[in-house]
Amino acid sequence: MTYFNGFLHFCIISNSVASVDTKGQSCRVSRVRHDAIGGYCTSVGHSQGRLLYVYDNVWENDDMSVYFLEDHDTEEWVWTLKLNISKTVLFGPPTFRGGWNYYTTAFHPDRDVIFFFDWSDKWLMSYYMKRRDVYDICALQEVPYIEQGEFFAAHHPFLPYVPSYSGTLASPSVS
């Protein structure tokens, strides 16, 4: 989930994003893909002043899709396809139950970059969307893995770093 423009946004079933304002007085659900059956949202986040949504249709192909919200301030929210990313390019051939075992860890707040973690190889990597470049950052051997039932349910060991730019409070007696 992510906090953006006064709302807490999180993925829900049916290829949708639920958004709740900070006071809990209004809630809305926006459907990202109306034509999708069987896929799921891997992550919702924000970058460069836009809300982003990563969709993965594990049953149809090896692509994941990145959508962005056109205008957060309008009555009807319209999601637009930004790009498709090949999971084979990112993670190599499928290895986990005929698919890929990855987690979308974060979105860079100011750059066109998504960070992924490949559970099979234990690699943290970045994907530059404009250039379509993949960079391995480092191996992370001690990341806990949670699996429930037939499908892996939750991979949330990553917490994004959010810098605080507040300065110290100036005192009138300090020159």
pLDDT at 31 over 50: yes
Q: What are phi and psi of 90, to 5 degrees?
A: -70, -50
Q: Which residue has the higher pLDDT, 20 or 40?
A: 20
* 25, 35, 175 from 55: Cα distances, Å: 28, 12, 54
DSSP string, 75-143: SS--EEEEEEEEHHHHH-S--BTTB--EEEEEE-SSSSEEEEEETTTTEEEEEETTTTEEEEEEE-TT-
The CATH class of the 2-139 domain is mainly beta
Q: How far apart are CA 112 and CA 46, in angstroms?
A: 10
The residue type of 165 is Y
Q: How far apart are CA 32 and CA 114, in angstroms?
A: 19
The residue type of 150 is E
How sure is the predictor about 152, in pLDDT bands with cuts at 50, 70 and 90?
very low
Domain boundaries, the chain: 2-139
Name the token pair of 141.
């051997």
Which tens digits make up the pLDDT trace of 76-102?
Answer: 788 999 999 998 889 888 876 777 878
The residue type of 58 is V
3 state DSSP class of 11: strand
What is the structure's pLDDT at 53? Answer: 92
Mean pLDDT of the chain: 79
Q: Torsion-angle region of residue 130: left (phi > 0), alpha (psi -120 to 50) or beta?
A: alpha
